[in-house]
Amino acid sequence: MPIFDYRCRSCSHAFEVFIRGAKIPSCPECGSEELEKQFSLPAIKSQGTHDKAMRAARARDKAQGKEREHAQRQYELNHD
């Protein structure tokens, strides 16, 4: 089932929608059918993209952990 990205010409709301057959979508915000189809890149999953996403997630989690540790230390220093 294809997913398409649209932007409403009436209210400028951007959204994704599943399209079946020749169904004409409408804007979920204002109900208008005056839509502009947006270009979107296909999602590509490979071992390389998975590994890259996992490295980014680990780096993000490590940075958030350091921030939490720092906040905890500051709290303990200021609230004896």
- What are the domain boundaries of the chain? 3-38, 44-80
How many of the other CB atoms lie within 10 Å of CB of 35? 19
Q: Which residues of the chain have pLDDT under 70?
A: 1-2, 41-43, 80
Task: Give CA separation, 76 vs 16, 66, 69, in Å.
Answer: 46, 15, 11
Distance between CA atoms of 48 and 39, rounded to whole angstroms? 24
Give me the pLDDT at residue 34, please. 93
What pLDDT score was predicted for residue 57? 94
pLDDT at 41 (0 to 100)? 67
pLDDT at 2: 67
